[in-house]
Amino acid sequence: MNQFKHSGHLSHILLLTLLALTTFLLTGCSQNQHRRIVRIGHNQSVNHPTHIALTAFQDYINHNLGDRYIVEVYPSELLGSQTDMVQLTQTGAIDYCIASNAILETFSKNYEIFNLPYLFASADSYHHAMDDPQITDPIFTATQKAGFTAVTWLDAGTRNFYTVKKPIESPSDLKGLKIRVQQSPTNIEMMRLLGGSATPMGFGDVYTALQSNIIDGAENNEMALTDNGHGDVCKYYSYDMHQMVPDILIGNNAFIQGLPEEDRVVFEEGYRLINQIQRKEWIKAVDTAREKAASQQKVRFLYPDQAPFVKACAPLHHTVLENNPNIRPIYDAIQQYNQLYPTITE
């Protein structure tokens, strides 16, 4: 069952309604008669850590600033795919959305860095780097011209290959297989280097594509198996651990910058809350997903030697750094965290 598939017609009507509402609200706001509705879209289910964290943000803002704002959270691609939602955030039709870092590299090359395979030596290194504003600020603020800014990050675990029929034990097993990747040039190049055939598509289309044999597999964290049902179709999940790609909460610039100072402080506290709650929930959610995938969906977890995967992907680091020397200091700072936290702990 694909709970994320939505009819184009329905989403069209939804968007039109939304735009009409936005116009109404903007007029209302200027007359100070209405509370400002703040809309946040994301593509996960209501059980997902991301939704739980955004709901906490909703409660926090509604509790502290409820006389001026009403936060509404739209899960499950109700407002369209992540790419659709980024565009809606750019234009201000909605105020925030969660986008995978993967798709943001088409808005600023700086985002390419977090899409690099085997960038982080461990989950600890990843978390410390993502918590360091010296690393994230130059990236999070790189999309000023595109109309949005990143306000915090969320954990999306480690991405691994999973397949319908053929277990992946080494890169050579990917040969001839069509593997869904996110819509990002870095991911497409990663698949090319690993020898598979990259099939970029939105998250909501993956289940049907797997089920109808349009693709042979995909790559994602463990929650995709359970929360998105991919483990009903794919019975092999291989811990090659090729990426730790964060999810990013982005906000419309005009909205964020237009917030009065005293409100901005509360919103910023709210962003911190999202990050803290989501990460705490994430640890529990991954454990539950692994357990459920193994016991109920009968997914087999495999632990291939990572070395050949790392070796095959290595050229991508050079390419990305050569194409964008601006990110070299960030890359070097991440290497320092890798030295401090070298062990894979998750």
| Rounded Cα distance, 81 and 204, in Å | 7
CA nearest 74: which of 49, 53, 45?
45
Min dist. Cβ of residue 180 to ligand GCU (A): 8
273 binds ligand GCU (CB under 6 A): no
By CB under 6 A, what part of segment 157-216 binds ligand GCU?
Answer: 182, 203
- Which CB sits closer to ligand GCU, 3 or 335? 3
Which residue, 22 or 186, is less far from ligand GCU as judged by CB?
Answer: 186
CB of 22 or CB of 184, closer to ligand GCU:
184
User: For ligand GCU, which residue of 156, 244, 249, 313 counts as binding (CB under 6 A)?
Assistant: 156
Return the closest-CA partner of residue 219 out of 161, 301, 265. 161
Cβ neighbors of 133 (< 8 A, separation 6 or more) are none
Report the DSSP pairing between strands 69-74 and 36-41: parallel
Query: In whole angstroms, how close is the CB of 269 to ligand GCU at the nearest point?
Result: 24
Count of other CB atoms within 10 angstroms of residue 112: 24
Kindly identify the residues of this chain, within the stretch 284-303, that bind ligand GCU according to CB under 6 A: none
> Between residues 244 and 316, which has the closer beta carbon with respect to ligand GCU?
244
Among 58, 76, 82, 110, contact with ligand GCU (rule: CB under 6 A): 82
CB distance 231 to 293 below 8 Å: yes
Please count the residues of this chain forming the interface with ligand GCU, following the rule CB under 6 A.
Answer: 9
Q: Could you say which residues in the range 220-249 bind ligand GCU, by CB under 6 A? A: 220, 224, 247
Note whether 113 and 119 are within 8 A (CB).
yes
Give the relative orientation of helices 261-295 and 49-65 as an angle to the nearest 10 degrees: 150
How far is Cα of residue 196 from the mean position of the Cα atoms in its chain? 22
Those residues with Cβ within 8 angstroms of residue 150's Cβ, 6 or more apart along the chain or in another chain = 104, 136, 139, 140, 141, 143, 248, 249, 250, 251
Q: Which is nearer to ligand GCU, 22 or 90 (CB)?
A: 90
Q: Among residues 232 and 247, whose Cβ is nearest to ligand GCU?
A: 247
Residue 205 CB, nearest approach to ligand GCU (Å): 10
Pair 225, 160: CB distance under 8 Å: no
Single residue of 22, 38, 43, 75 touching ligand GCU by CB under 6 A = 43
Q: How far is the CB of 41 from ligand GCU (least distance, A)?
A: 12
Closer residue to ligand GCU in complex, CB, 124/222: 222
- Is residue 100 involved in binding ligand GCU (CB under 6 A)? yes
**Interface residues toward ligand GCU, by CB under 6 A:** 43, 82, 100, 156, 182, 203, 220, 224, 247
